[in-house]
């Protein structure tokens, strides 16, 4: 795997990050004089949004917009990119509360940060509830800022945006349900991946970009033919990283998905194939007392039963399908090359 970031990603990230800082600095300047206590949540959101993140969603939106004939310097596509990052912050902050995650991008999660503040300040009530409550509010703020940014674009793009948000929430519910139930079958695991991550990360950003350029009707089919398989490949790579990723790169504990019991296609395949001691180990996935040694043993089972190899083969096939769909596309250059490069990055990223 490689962590090399393509220029198709980095060139989009800079103006989006400037816009994010402009919005958040403006909100800090607005609310600090009203009540200095508002500084803490706004600063936390600013750190979260600006300290890391791949900026994939703005990139897919940008290159679909450019490929549809849009001006790459137009304010609306930068606003849309910033909106995607705000919405992603909303989703991740809430996701961390739901999963009880302690770290994100190598730092304490937002709810853990405010739980610690409650403890050190010796305030009344339960520190955990305070931390989670503040994190939910910070996530909600991020969603409001995201909507405000998108509402300044076009009605067509905003309509796609609203559908994206519904799909994201549907996928998140199915993910929470699957984690609670355990033993999710492959079809359900793939459905969760499609709605929670694939469509939200790639397909809908592409559609928003085309809508901003006024060409969603004639490009939606071609963009979906590229985005649907690539979105699934993106989530399958996430599943590999969630089970085997290097903590120094991912910023989350080794085997994090195994500790949480995430209903992934990787685990679904392993559950279908493993027997005996391997099946017994897989039954331990998601248990609160799962040990580091058991995580390593479960990783061995995922390899030995061929589940990891099958997922890697699926990623390669899905990326080939995505890239192949671009042949003869009505999208212009350099967007086609950028989408090729982004597909390669999605397939081989290490974080």
Q: Is the pLDDT at 52 greater than 80, yes or no?
A: no
CATH code (residue 32): 1.10.600.10
Q: Is the pLDDT at 12 greater than 80, yes or no?
A: yes
Question: What pLDDT score does 1 carry?
Answer: 41
- CA triplet 231, 316, 270: central angle to 5 degrees? 85
Looking at residues 52-60, what average pLDDT do you find?
Answer: 92
| Residue 102 binned pLDDT confidence (cut-offs 50, 70, 90) | very high
Question: What pLDDT score does 318 carry?
Answer: 96
pLDDT in tens, 74-99: 999 999 999 999 999 999 999 999 99
SS3 114: helix
Question: What pLDDT score does 288 carry?
Answer: 86
Burial class for 1, CB neighbours closer than 10 Å (0-12, 13-18, 19+): middle
Comparing 39-43, 145-149, 249-253, the range with the smallest average pLDDT is: 249-253
| Residue 3 binned pLDDT confidence (cut-offs 50, 70, 90) | low
pTM of the model: 0.94
| Residue 192 binned pLDDT confidence (cut-offs 50, 70, 90) | confident
Query: Cis before residue 163, ω within 30 degrees of 0?
Result: no
pLDDT in tens, 250-298: 878 889 899 989 999 999 999 999 999 999 999 999 998 999 999 999 9
Residue 104 DSSP label: E
Contact 232, 198 (CB under 8 A): yes
Q: What is the mean pLDDT of the chain?
A: 94
Q: Is the pLDDT at 183 greater than 80, yes or no?
A: no
Q: Is the pLDDT at 4 greater than 90, yes or no?
A: no
SS3 251: coil
Question: What pLDDT score does 250 carry?
Answer: 81
| Helix 7-31 and helix 335-348, axial crossing angle in degrees, nearest 10 | 80
Q: Is the pLDDT at 237 greater than 80, yes or no?
A: yes
To the nearest whole percent, how much of the chain has pLDDT over 70?
99
Question: What pLDDT score does 106 carry?
Answer: 83
Looking at residues 125-154, what average pLDDT do you find?
Answer: 97
Residue written as token pair 């993910």: 175
Q: Is the pLDDT at 333 greater than 90, yes or no?
A: no
- Asked if residue 114 belongs to a domain, the reply is yes
Question: What pLDDT score does 32 carry?
Answer: 98
Question: What pLDDT score does 197 carry?
Answer: 84
Looking at residues 175-191, what average pLDDT do you find?
Answer: 87
- Asked if residue 13 belongs to a domain, the reply is yes
Question: What pLDDT score does 31 carry?
Answer: 98
- Asked if residue 150 belongs to a domain, the reply is yes
| Nearest CA-CA partner of 256 in 134, 188, 172, 351 | 351
Comparing 134-143, 178-187, 208-217, the range with the smallest average pLDDT is: 178-187
Residues contacting residue 307 through CB under 8 Å, at least 6 positions apart: 266, 267, 269, 270, 273
Q: Is the pLDDT at 184 greater than 80, yes or no?
A: no
Q: Domain tally for the chain?
A: 1
- Asked if residue 1 belongs to a domain, the reply is no
Dist. CA 227–CA 230, nearest whole Å? 5
- Asked if residue 2 belongs to a domain, the reply is no
Q: Is the pLDDT at 177 greater than 50, yes or no?
A: yes
Domain holding 299, by residue range, is 7-348
Q: Is the pLDDT at 116 greater than 50, yes or no?
A: yes
- Asked if residue 327 belongs to a domain, the reply is yes
Question: What pLDDT score does 196 carry?
Answer: 80
Biggest distance spanned by C-alpha atoms of the chain: 64
């Amino acid at each position: 795997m490689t962590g090399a970031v393509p220029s198709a990603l980095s060139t989009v990230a800079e103006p989006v990050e400037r816009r994010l800082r402009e919005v958040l600095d403006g909100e800090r300047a607005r609310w600090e004089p009203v009540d200095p206590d508002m500084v803490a949540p706004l600063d936390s959101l600013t750190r979260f949004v600006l300290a890391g993140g791949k900026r994939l969603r703005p990139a897919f939106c940008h290159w679909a917009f450019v490929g549809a004939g849009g001006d790459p310097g137009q304010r609306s596509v930068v606003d849309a990119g910033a909106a995607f990052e705000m919405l992603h912050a909303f989703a991740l902050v809430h996701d961390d509360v739901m999963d009880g995650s302690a770290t994100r991008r190598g730092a304490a999660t937002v709810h853990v940060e405010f739980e610690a503040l409650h403890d050190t300040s010796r305030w009344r009530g339960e520190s955990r509830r305070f931390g989670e409550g503040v994190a939910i509010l910070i996530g909600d703020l991020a969603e409001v800022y995201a909507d405000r940014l998108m509402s300044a674009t076009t009605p067509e793009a905003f309509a796609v945006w609203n559908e994206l948000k519904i799909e994201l929430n549907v996928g998140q519910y199915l993910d929470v349900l699957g984690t609670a139930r355990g033993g999710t079958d492959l079809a359900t695991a793939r459905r969760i991946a499609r709605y929670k991550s694939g469509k939200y990360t790639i397909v809908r950003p592409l559609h928003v970009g085309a809508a901003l350029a006024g060409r969603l009707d004639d490009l939606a089919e071609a963009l979906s033919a590229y985005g649907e398989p690539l979105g699934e490949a993106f989530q399958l790579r996430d599943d590999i990283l969630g089970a085997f990723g290097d903590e120094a790169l991912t910023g989350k504990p080794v085997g994090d998905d195994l500790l949480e019991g995430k209903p992934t296609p990787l685990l679904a395949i392993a559950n279908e194939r493993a027997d005996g001691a391997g099946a017994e180990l897989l039954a331990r996935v998601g248990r609160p007392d799962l040990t580091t040694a058991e995580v390593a043993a479960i990783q061995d089972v995922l390899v030995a039963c061929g589940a990891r190899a099958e997922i890697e083969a699926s990623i390669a096939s899905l990326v080939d399908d995505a890239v192949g769909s671009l042949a003869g596309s009505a999208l212009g250059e350099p967007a086609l090359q950028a989408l090729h490069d982004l597909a390669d990055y999605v397939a081989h990223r290490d974080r």
